[in-house]
């Protein structure tokens, strides 16, 4: 692409012109948008952490922010939720089996 201000050839993805420092129409990466709450919620209340992380993940992608923590939040909350459900089902099956044996 060509700089609007000085007319020099610059990189297509450049955010500012390296010659005259004019800003280009390219969006500025927003590294300051780094949501962490979904990530921490995933450990405390996994189902809520999952939805918060999901929303924060797509919001971070849209704003070109950092999406790594929301992604970890999604993975961690999903893992915890699945583990809890599997354990609950296994526990339920065990109790049913014990009750059946006692009757």
Least distance to Zn ion, CB of residue 5, Å: 5
DSSP 8-class letter at 38 = H
Pick the closer one to Zn ion by CB: 19 or 58: 19
User: Tokens 């970890």 — which residue?
Assistant: 72
Options 1, 2, 6, 96; binder of Zn ion; rule CB under 5 A: 6
Helical H runs in 26-67? 37-44, 46-62
| Of 20, 21, 26, nearest in space to 1 by CA | 26
Pick the closer one to Zn ion by CB: 10 or 71: 10
Pick the closer one to Zn ion by CB: 6 or 45: 6
Options 14, 20, 89, 94; binder of Zn ion; rule CB under 5 A: 20
Q: Which stretch binds Zn ion (CB under 5 A): 16-24, 44-52, 54-62, 68-76?
A: 16-24
Q: 3-class DSSP state for residue 94?
A: helix
Whether residue 6 contacts residue 23, with contact meaning beta carbons closer than 8 Å, is answered with no
Contact set with Zn ion (CB under 5 A): 3, 5-6, 17, 19-20, 22
């Amino acid at each position: 692409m060509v700089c609007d201000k000085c007319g020099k050839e610059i990189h297509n993805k450049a955010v500012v012109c390296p010659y005259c420092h004019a800003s280009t129409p390219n969006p500025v990466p927003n590294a300051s948008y780094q949501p962490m709450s979904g990530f921490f919620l995933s450990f405390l209340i996994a189902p809520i952490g999952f939805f918060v992380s999901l929303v924060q993940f797509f919001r971070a992608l849209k704003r070109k922010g950092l999406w790594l923590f929301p992604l970890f939040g999604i993975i961690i909350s999903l893992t915890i939720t699945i583990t809890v459900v599997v354990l609950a089902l296994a526990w339920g099956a065990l109790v049913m089996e014990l009750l059946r044996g006692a009757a």
